[in-house]
Structure 1
Amino acid sequence: MRGVAFWFLLIAALCALLGMVSGVVMAAAQDHSLSPAHAHLNLLGWVSMAIFGFYYHLVPEASARPLARLHFGLSVVATILFTPGIILAIRGQTEVLAQVGALLTIASMLVFLVTVARHRPTGRMAKV
């Protein structure tokens, strides 16, 4: 595996680790007030990025396009902004980062939708 598929999976694994650590910290402190941030980190960072990585691995024509790199960049920046943005919103400090992160998350998914629509899997999919 290489290219954008590798990078999506690398970031997914990092987000999974951070999500696990945040879950353990919340459990140890018996304070689950930040569980929405934890859930979004796991869903957007771990699950979605892993799915994106597997898609790009299985459909190499899509991963070779500039749109794939745009998708990766949007996804990473969205996760970096959205997760701490949720924490700041929960703490009543500001909602701006969460709002920007949410918009970038939607933009990222829109780019993925366009990518999937343009590059339907064919018989030439990558070997697993």
Structure 2
Amino acid sequence: MGIKFIKISVCYFVVGVCLGMYMSMTEKFDFTPVHVHINLLGWTAMTLAGLIYVAFPNAAETTLAKVHFWLHNIALPIMMIGLAFLVSGVEAAGPAVAVGGTLMVLGIILFAINILKNVKN
């Protein structure tokens, strides 16, 4: 699972950097919250999870790791698309942000449980 996390995190990094470049070129920074969350939850958090899973393969091969991976990668696009619409003035997008955010929190809690349970000396 570690390599999968690292590889997909690079995709989020490209999206986040391209969004940042777009905002810089247009001097319109409405999507800053989307940019920040993609880079933090997509690039940084997933890269770190991947590196932890590479360092501790016992934790990487658990069902918790697999569920964490899928929850993270389902939640983040839902939350970011919803957030993009929300900051664009579409108030009806609020539930998408809430659903994506809730799934993300669940995925991160499963990651924490997995690390606490399966990462050992």
Give the TM bin, normalised by the shorter chain: over 0.9
User: Given the two structures, how large is their TM-score scaled by the length of structure 2?
Assistant: 0.95
Structure 2 contact 2–49 (Cα < 8 Å) conserved: yes
**Structure 1, unaligned stretches of length 5 or more?**
123-128
* 2:62 matches 1:91: no
SS in 2 for 1:15: helix
- Cα distance per residue 1:80-119 (max 9 Å; x no partner): 1111111111122121111111101110110011001101
User: Given the two structures, how large is their TM-score scaled by the length of structure 1?
Assistant: 0.90
Which one of 47, 51, 55 corresponds to residue 52 of structure 2? 55
CA distance in 2, matches of 1:8, 1:97: 23
CA distance in 1, matches of 2:19, 2:89: 20
Q: What stretches of structure 1 move > 2 A for 4+ residues in a row?
A: none
**Structure 2, unaligned stretches of length 5 or more?**
none
Counterparts in 2 of 1:67-86, with a 5 A limit?
67-86=64-83
Aligned length: 119
Which one of 7, 10, 19 corresponds to residue 7 of structure 2? 10
Deviates more, 1:80-89 or 1:17-26: 80-89
In structure 1, the partner of 2:118 is 119
In structure 1, the partner of 2:24 is 27
* 2:56 matches 1:64: no
In structure 1, the partner of 2:108 is 109
CA distance in 2, matches of 1:108, 1:73: 8
State percent identity of aligned pairs.
25
